[in-house]
Structure 1
Amino acid sequence: MKILLPQADGRLAPYTMKAAPVAAPATPPRFNRIAYAAAHVVIDPLASTDPWDAEPAIDWDATLAFRDHLHGLGFRIAEAMDTAQRGMGLGWPSARELIRRSLRHAAATGAELACGVGTDQLAPAAVRSLDDVERAYQEQLDVVESEGGRAILMASRALAAIARDPVDYATVYGRLLGRAGRPVILHWLGEMFDPALAGYWGRAEPEAALDAVAELIERYQARIDGIKISLLDARLERALRARLPEGVRLYTGDDFNYAELIEGDAQGFSHALLGIFDPIAPAASAALAALAQDDRARYRALLAPTVALSREIFRSPTRHYKTGVVLLAWLNGHQRHFSMAGGAQSARSVLHAARVFELADACGVLRDPALACHRMRQWLQVAGGIDG
């Protein structure tokens, strides 16, 4: 199969597809790493109005079916995270309903979920005190725990806006951890994902922030399952991992360096909570199954080629990575359209989409190459006026 794709120099050039998808396992494999896939939501574009200004309507059947797809490949689900456009098109009312429906669905299917708890019902400009932030967190924590779910305490724009130093962060987190019904996963999202989170943990420099978060974890370790760190800096991740108390896990959120961090070295390894697992799920599942069998050569052969795709999807401005994730969900037949909450399908260029398509084919994550090629041609004609 061939398709005409735009090039960086402005030319159109034919691309011959590799068309060799990684086969999905017949039954969920066993992993020796905990692997959460942060899943996107599927909207209903026919029921959604004013995409820039109004809450989208969610296609619940397609959204839950995609979670079944991930569960069938062996993944746990990280629900209502930034991959689901949390606070970037998906507001708290929809996120609350997503959490409730997903947890009830998981109870029936046996899937394991952890759900994002944040403060996005609270506009940062309206914050007057740390108590305001704490109450917003607690409202969401109560929703998750009332359904029997585990919480991921997401980084808060509101807290970043009002906290003065690490003491303020420790005050809010300490109170929440003290009331949580089960150990939570902390969440450190770098400003490349969300500029409003610059200086999180009360320190401008990541090295100093690492000291602050390590001290918080040491103090409340019995209340903490682990921490997801998304700074796109393998050195910082390894430094924090080395300082974690026994029993507290490091979940890599590094969509640039995940392959090496999950595999690990003599100093240890990271578990995973990743947005890139959404589009590369079959290849990642097969790789993690190989790692569990200590077949590191196969692990690398399967997962290493996905890194180039991930680096393109998560390239700067990183906050727009969801566009590539949902594009691949559509190309792979998991949804009938390429529409997103907030109209975010327009956040990336035609050239970026073409590169994502090419790299996805190269690493074997287009599960039906003929369908993907057909849909990509349709989109290129509409979005770029390209016939071929």
Structure 2
Amino acid sequence: MKIYMVGGAVRDELLGRPVSDRDWVVVGATPEEMVKHGFLPVGKDFPVFLHPVTHEEYALARTERKSGRGYKGFTVYAAPEVTLEEDLARRDLTINAIAKDENGQYIDPYGGRLDLKRRLLRHVSPAFVEDPVRILRVARFAARFTDFTVAEETLALMREMVRNGEVDALVPERVWQELARGLMEAKPSRMFELLRDCGALAKLLPEVDRLFGVPQNPKSHPEVDTGVHVMRVVDRAAALGGTLPVRFAALTHDLGKGVTPREQWPFHDGHEQAGVALVQAVSTRLRVPHDCRDLACLVVRWHGEAHRADQADAETLVTLLTRLDAFRQPARLHAFLLACTADYQGRPGYEERPMPGAQRLARAFEAAAAVDAGAIARQHHSGEAIRAALFAARVTAVNAALGASQIGHD
């Protein structure tokens, strides 16, 4: 029985990146032997075990044969005679098909170390086309390794997989899992641009794909193209350290511009309202978590108001804060403002500029939130009277904090 460290841990070690999770392959063993050594079996589709001390995953060397459509359409064979090279051959990219033995020696039958030096994402074998998840994984790695390029022959296989309908077999949960991981990488735009290049974006996220080529007002958007703008915004959300809900909101904030009638281009009147239904449709289709969906709906609907908040009076500001449910969920207001700031800064020349509307709205919230809602509630008997008095008190507080003379000119 021989044990090798494999996959991402070896790759990241060679790149000098932090190694968080380590995976292991065991050659020459049976499930019974693993259990005898204290390993806990956990694999459902193939033999995977947890180490009795470290709880890291140890998988028996295996081969896979295509037996159906989709990423689950495989017959797995695991036996002591399966070699390390055969196990590595079933992996997606050469940089993920490197092993390291107990003596620190690398086993690299498919040239992964050379591709690391060349900064190249290249498939291991023609069997790459058998698993459509690999399209998403390569796109996600492009977002993580921002100085890597995708080999032309690998991109050709990805396009072939889209043409052959393999991508249509992807289940929503897996699509979202990979997209979410890609959104949390250093430069998420590279994932979506690669998906678009191979044709998969039109299949998986047609609402985003159709934004490319749609013009915007050049006075406020020097980049003009809506799709290009959205890519800049999602990267800016990443640079600002946005959470997954913030980054998803950044990705979807302008979906309404993809359905605006052409005669309204490039001003897109009403695109905010139109975008809400699209965000809801995407979220339902891909099983997007509620926190991501809810923030994205708020951002797509109200980001225009946030941009205009620097010219808004106190009543308008308090109305917007109420619509955002900011007084009950202040953390979500922070996420909303961060997504709007990414939108504001997602334009050439605006990258480091503070967003005046977000700053003004944040100051208004601080003043309005200081109003003692409990004291006002004790002075009134009906819910409607309480709401009206509380709203008026908050408007007064915002006026006092921002200065009535500054309203509309700050």
TM-score by length of 2: 0.28
Higher helix share: 2
